[in-house]
Chain A
Amino acid sequence: MSPVLADVLQVSALIAALALVHRPLGDYMARVYSSTRHLRVERWIYRCVGADPDAEMRWPAYLRSVLAFSAVSVLFLYLLQRVQDKLPLSLGFKPIDPDQAFNTAASFVSNTNWQSYSGESAMSHVTQTAGLAVQNFVSAAVGMAVAIALVRGFTRARTGELGNFWADMVRGTVRILLPVSALAAVVLVATGAIQNFAGFHEVHTLSGATQDIPGGAVASQEAIKDLGTNGGGFFNANSSHPFENPNGFSNLLEIFLLLVIPFSLPRTFGTMVGSAKQGYAIVAAMGAIWFAGVVAVTVTEFQHPGTAAQLAGGAMEGKEQRFGEGASSLFSVSTTMTSTGSVNSFHDSFSGLSGGVLLLGMMLGEIAPGGVGSGLYGMLVMAVVAVFVSGLMVGRTPEYLGKKIGPREIKLAACYILITPALVLGGTGLAMALPDGKEAMTNIGAHGFSEVLYAYTSGSNNNGSAFAGFGADTPFFNTTIGLCMLLGRFLPMVFVLALASSLAKQTPVPVTAGTLRTEKPLFTGMLVGAILIITGLTFFPALALGPLAEGLA
């Protein structure tokens, strides 16, 4: 079988698997967030927290809970890294430096998982499992909670109440993320991923050298890292490390885990608003952009432009033999477009044009399909904008799902959209203007600029993947990228929750002959168009300086 045919089959199998679970998982998640019953373990958690899970929250209260929980998480994770040498299972590693500990704490709490450290040579077992892996669960659950609060804004009327943050976050963790991760972790161990609490195991090789085989609770962390679209690898090599991703099957399973919740949440949305078709319109827009990205990167990597790749006869630099070009391209697009940022191959060594597509995938704002939760709310904000633009074209008051899109709604959506470009372009500009930025590039010229642009894009959009040649562990980058990650995560949530409240307070308007039908393919096309135009206009100049200049050189 030719590599191209195998790759076509592989992509088809992935799409089939995602389609198969779309309805059951989406409906299950809708039930989880709508149910009035509490599981026994959940009641126990609420008692420990001292929260009443049935108390409705208005948007300021919901937001305060999100921020309080995240602030405490940043602090806890920071302290854990600073004292890791005094805790058990430290493997002899030193405490993490303050700037890097802040960067890592901000990174994992904001669901970014940008890593300026190298896992196997810095983080103790306790930091990894009780610190980083815990944030993999809860930061994902926070994203889903905010998305569900926005959906409630569409389903509720004449109320400012958006649900209870503690209930939403705990249910997301206990009923969705934990069971799926546990299952996936066991399957990953069966393929060869390691799961132990041992240190390095020294072996003597046949050629008389020694080699330190690492240990760690890898499979359990790998499963949630992908499922929660986090992306922070146990090892520096992330999902290209054979202990994280041993073969072709584990690779496809990991890609499936990245995509499964973001692609199923539109069904949850459709079910909750009472029209499955509204969900299909959203998932179609996500799927179209994702698929276009997969095709673009796969074709480019198989053609392997670039002088070094041409000389080598293929684009295998930074790729594993067991994955090859096809499975690496599929993983790279899926990870950048879901805000995951784990990698099974190193994006820095992809051809210039592929690197540009991966960058663009992040610049779209992580909505195709985006991170768990953040993908859905980002896409719904874009849908609000698309409805507004369509309304202007035909001269009618725009409305979406019976809610009027007035000045307040559109202002909130516009603020949401402006945050990440401001952070990306501001951060990149600052880094290029100061000597710190230029010193960190491993590559020269356009590719070096792409590295810096990629870093701020990845941080501000909460992706976390890197053109990793970039020497990110400096106080300047740790601090500025850390701030970009926190602002890029939590400022948009402010506007999403305010928007949710403003929608929930409205009285729904009845559907008439003049209502824009947002469940039709025409609207999906409008939505994709709006996304591309907004992103294109914002980022084209920056892309032209980096990947486009490199690709056309």
Chain B
Amino acid sequence: MNTSVRNTGRLLSAAFRALLVLTVVCGVIYPLVITGIAQGAFHDKANGSVVKADGRDVGSRLIGQSWNERGGRKPDPKYFQGRPSASDYDPRNSGSSQLGASDPKLVGMVRKARKQVADFNGVPQSRVPKDAVTGSASALDPAISKKYAALQVDRVARANRLSTGTVRRLVSEHTAGRTLGFLGEPTVNVLELNLAVRRAAARG
């Protein structure tokens, strides 16, 4: 009995030492080395791809944001709008609605979003694309589809007193195809597009 207790003790102490030494290797050295390389070689990306405007940080090109009117809850017609978000684009609270594809609550949300998007942009409901009425997985989707961007061009142009041609050109400049031509889906980055629209509107 005594020897088996002693053997178990010896085994547990070996296990504990193994865990400690592997914690140093995998939990301290590894992340620090990767951080060193990342900060040296890809400084901007490693720190969150932060975007600046007028000399201050206004967001990350990878993290979506809400484009409501100043201090209000209503969408701002001057800006391209992103997808619905389960957390109102709060990065402290990522994640989706988690509602099933037949859930009555989700049906209600989709119906409401469709009407809102159609009315806001002055287009028939049948033209509203799927990404405009569904929440993303992260609630932080930085991108919309080409269709949803195209749908918003007239409204954004009118609100900013720009020609639709100018806005359409800005959309195509900020459209990225599939990575390497076939991976994922084409995207329009909403933050970068809105910054470009804002610059164009300021120039008049």
Contacts and interface: CB of A to CB of B under 8 A. Distances in A.
Interface stretch (A147-155, A236-244, A409-417): A236-244
A351 interface: yes
B110 A201 contact: no
A30 interface: no
B93 interface: yes
A213 B18 CA distance: 36
Interface in B74-104: 76, 79, 83, 89-104
B70 A207 contact: yes
A204 B102 contact: no
Contacts of B91: 120, 200, 211-214
Nearest to B56: A204
A507 interface: no
A48 B17 contact: yes
Contacts of B57: 201, 203-204
B39 interface: yes
B27 A131 contact: yes
B191 to A, nearest CB: 8
Given A240-B137, A312-B134, A317-B106, A350 B182 contact: no
A65 B15 contact: yes
A205 B183 contact: no
A313 interface: yes
Of A64, A173, A192, A242, most buried by chain B (CB within 10 Å of CB) is A242
Contact of B183 (A76, A252, A320): A252
Interface in B122-160: 128-131, 133-145
Contacts of A174: 25
A248 B12 CA distance: 45
Contacts of A308: 99-103, 106-107, 109-110
Contacts of A182: 30, 33-34
Q: Size band of the B side of the interface?
A: 35 or more
Interface stretch (A339-347, A363-371, A534-542): A339-347
Choose among B39, B47, B89, B198 the residue with the greatest number of A CB atoms under 10 Å from its CB: B47
B95 A468 contact: yes
Nearest to B101: A306
A327 interface: yes
Interface in B13-34: 13-23, 25-28, 30-31, 33-34
B130 to A, nearest CB: 3
Interface string A307-320: 11101111111111
A71 B185 contact: no
Contact of A195 (B22, B38, B66): B38
Nearest to B7: A64
Interface stretch (A133-141, A382-390, A490-498, A522-530): A133-141
B14 A51 contact: yes
Contact of A550 (B50, B63, B102): B102
A242 B138 contact: yes
A189 to B, nearest CB: 4
B134 A317 contact: yes
A186 interface: yes
A105 interface: no
Contacts of A191: 45
A469 B137 CA distance: 12
Contacts of A271: none
A159 interface: no
Interface stretch (A215-223, A277-285, A423-431): A215-223
B98 A309 contact: no
A476 interface: no
Contacts of A212: 90-92
Given A1-B182, A320-B138, A327-B183, A447 B103 contact: yes
B181 interface: yes
Contacts of B67: 206-207
A3 interface: yes
Nearest to B109: A308
Given A49-B18, A196-B48, A318-B136, 14 more contacts: A190-B45, A220-B31, A240-B137, A241-B140, A249-B184, A311-B114, A313-B129, A313-B130, A317-B96, A317-B97, A318-B96, A320-B137, A321-B187, A351-B102
Interface of B: 8, 11-23, 25-28, 30-31, 33-35, 37-39, 41-42, 45-50, 53, 56-60, 62-63, 65-71, 76, 79, 83, 89-104, 106-107, 109-111, 114, 128-131, 133-145, 178-185, 187, 194-195, 198
Closest 8 CB pairs of A and B: A248-B184, A306-B101, A469-B98, A248-B183, A314-B130, A240-B137, A248-B179, A324-B185
